[in-house]
A and B are shown apart, each in its own frame.
Chain A
Amino acid sequence: MMFPSLFLNECRQTLKCKTYYIIIICMLIFFISQLSAFDMINKPEPNQESYGFTFSSDERLIMETALQVLIGEYNANRYVTYPIGFYKEVTLSEKKQAKMLEIIREISGLDEDELKAAYESNGINPGVSAEQAKLSIAEDISYERFMELMKQADKLLGGGSMYRKSYIKYIARVPASFNEALQAYNDIIYKERLTGAYARLFCDYLGIVLAILPVFLAVTRALRDKRGGANQVIFSKKAGSASIILSRYLSTVLMIMLPVLAIAGYLSVQFLYYGANEGIDVDVFAFFKYSLFWLLPAVMISSSVGIFLTELTQTAIAIVAMGIWWFVSMSVADLGGGYGWNLIPRHNTIGNYQVFIDNFKILVLNRIGYSLLAILLAAAAVLVYDLKRRGKLAIYGKRASNIKGKP
């Protein structure tokens, strides 16, 4: 029954830690700076000037717009990609250009000369929108075949192009109608009970910081034994390696989630009052549910990377590793809700419920996958600690258990 005592002790130690309070302050400052995004939505009224934009799901329109973009890039042999979110221009070799031409031919049904003529006469360029699409696609091409060809095109370009699956369905942006805007509004109020939509936005923002902040606490904790020269003393105690490491790991996760849940609670109360005033039946637990489902896996990963790499190397290298992972995740994130396998799934709008539902399955797999990975890394940290304890990990030619004092 040592584990509960160890765990509570670790939580108490965290409360004495400067790094912990700095993390909370950073979290709060970041959240407050983004509060303006939480403005309440208004019900669309008929005869408004604009209802924003939506993405057309008209397959034909998608195919036509994609073709326009592709022909423009092909002719310039300059393809825009965002492999990790940074702009990258790809220039294809002759061989690859020839393959691209094949793709274009199949989609458009035109040969090279016809394509050139159409390009020149219609002033096609990569920036043209679906509304201005002037080039028609081949009659006999199916949407499935089109998507296959887009996949090939994206592969030719090394990934991250506008033809990738997660982007192509949003390539045809069209003005939203009143009915579409009203449908989106009703989805938020009735299907999501208001708080669901805002909870997703809450997770979108906080996910940015929660994927990186916990690593600092985990590293600080893991280095404390080294700093205090306490390694040998702790190694010699009765407590098992699993108890020692898991109590630290779980306390890090819990102590980071506590302020998150506190903010969730604050927002729930705000929305409860608003809902009561506006006659909306809000889901008062939405913020908590989303926090646990969406944010907890990121906290778990960041903490486990911190604890594992620090136990292994006795340095702060975990911060660099997590920093790089964070940077890449932030850069490739699809803000519109294409979650994929990103550590930081983004959903940077209020609503877009259909996108959430369409991608819900992958999101669930994503979160479960990262949670399992986090548990695996925590288990690896236990193993590393145990090996060190038994003197089986050598540092500077000495067994780790033999290093006296502070290295």
Chain B
Amino acid sequence: MSAEIKISGLNQFYGKKQVLKDINLNIGTGMFALLGRNGAGKTTLMRVLATLLPVSRGVVTVCGIPISMEAQIRRITGYLPQEFSFYANMTVYEAMDYLGVLSGLSKADRQEKIPDLLAKVNLLTKKKVKVGALSGGMKRRLGIAQAILHEPKVLIVDEPTAGLDAEERVRFRNLLSEIAGDRIVILSTHIIADIEASCERIAVLEEGEIIYNGTVSDMLRLAEGKIYSAQIKKTDLPGIKAKYPITSMVSSGNHVSLRLISDEKPFEGACLCEAGIEDAYMYLMQDKRGAI
């Protein structure tokens, strides 16, 4: 069985509205990021891969299995939705146990795996706490634990750090990297920091279309020589903003330190610098769409 997700000519519709247009992707093992704005179609693609939405048009296979064979697909995929919620009156352990049953695990398997997983996600001490009483971060960790309980080959995580505070976000990213192993892990996100730490390959989705598909380093190369940093007066900011796309900005008193995109040196004082993922993403969006 090839450890690969193959998406070919995927077109997805909600009613008359087309939300995915001619998506072609091959996703192998490792961490794969799907980046895009809100409403770009990321969640729709995730839900198709998780068999929550039937394919409108196109061919999708997961590890050689056609997506229409739902039962087999669900055996090898784990899904953490953007909004993770579970029966509030169950304890953490009961929730994991029940989800283990639904995942097709035997009692012996569940008894063996659940405590280990809860320990891994730092929820073992909370195993008797009701799900309804968990914080957002704890719920998210419970979500990832249930997604990998049955040791899926494919892990689909939609907006992994949505709703988490800064510390929880870092912890969660580290956790994901830890559990990735030799799985196919697909992360959909609009937060650049989610990708920076661990994703090697990335696809950028905009208005339902893939506008970039490749490695992170290749994406960075696209923006090479186009990213400048400068420190300007606050009063000059509106003029510069009108002329150049700004990728980041930090205010300090009367001055602003910023990074901008330009084919050549925009003005005196601007320095060429190494592109980051955020810069490259913004460059891509500007290049494809003409404006940000």
CA distance A405 to B136 in the complex (A): 9
- Tell me which of B62-70, B83-91, B177-185, B216-224 binds A: B83-91
Closest residue on chain B to residue A395 by CB atoms: B132
CA distance A128 to B215 in the complex (A): 98
Contact between B132 and A405, CB atoms less than 8 A apart: no
User: B-side binding surface: helix, strand, loop or mixed?
Assistant: loop
CA distance A395 to B89 in the complex (A): 10
Contact between B136 and A397, CB atoms less than 8 A apart: no
A363-407 to B contact mask, C-beta < 8 Å, 1/0: 000000000000000000000000000000001111000011111
Residue in contact with A403 in the complex, picked from B83, B129, B132, B163, CB distance below 8 Å? B132
Contact between A396 and B132, CB atoms less than 8 A apart: yes
B53 at the interface (CB under 8 A from A): no
| A373 to B: closest C-beta gap in Å | 32
**How many residues of A are in contact with the other chain, CB < 8 A?**
9
Contact between B85 and A406, CB atoms less than 8 A apart: yes
* Residues in chain A near residue B237, CB distance under 8 A: none
CA distance A398 to B134 in the complex (A): 9
Restricting to B110-150, which residues have a CB under 8 Å from any CB of A?
129-130, 132-133, 135-136, 139
CA distance A406 to B136 in the complex (A): 12
Chain B contact residues (Cβ within 8 angstroms of A): what range? 10 to 19
CA distance A404 to B136 in the complex (A): 7
Contact between A405 and B83, CB atoms less than 8 A apart: yes
| A299 to B: closest C-beta gap in Å | 33
Contact between A407 and B83, CB atoms less than 8 A apart: no
Closest residue on chain B to residue A404 by CB atoms: B136
* Residues in chain B near residue A406, CB distance under 8 A: 83, 85
Contact between A396 and B85, CB atoms less than 8 A apart: no
Contact between A396 and B83, CB atoms less than 8 A apart: no
Contact between A397 and B130, CB atoms less than 8 A apart: yes
| B125 to A: closest C-beta gap in Å | 15
* Residues in chain A near residue B163, CB distance under 8 A: 404
CA distance A272 to B135 in the complex (A): 65
* Residues in chain B near residue A396, CB distance under 8 A: 88-89, 130, 132-133
A173-211 to B contact mask, C-beta < 8 Å, 1/0: 000000000000000000000000000000000000000
B158-179 to A contact mask, C-beta < 8 Å, 1/0: 0000010000000000000000
Contact between B83 and A397, CB atoms less than 8 A apart: no
Residue in contact with A398 in the complex, picked from B85, B89, B133, CB distance below 8 Å? B133
**22 A-B residue contacts at CB 8 Å?**
A395-B132, A396-B88, A396-B89, A396-B130, A396-B132, A396-B133, A397-B129, A397-B130, A397-B133, A398-B132, A398-B133, A403-B132, A404-B135, A404-B136, A404-B139, A404-B163, A405-B83, A405-B85, A406-B83, A406-B85, A407-B88, A407-B132
State the B residues within 8 Å of A (CB): 83, 85, 88-89, 129-130, 132-133, 135-136, 139, 163
Q: A397-B129, A405-B85 given. 20 additional CB < 8 A pairs? A: A395-B132, A396-B88, A396-B89, A396-B130, A396-B132, A396-B133, A397-B130, A397-B133, A398-B132, A398-B133, A403-B132, A404-B135, A404-B136, A404-B139, A404-B163, A405-B83, A406-B83, A406-B85, A407-B88, A407-B132
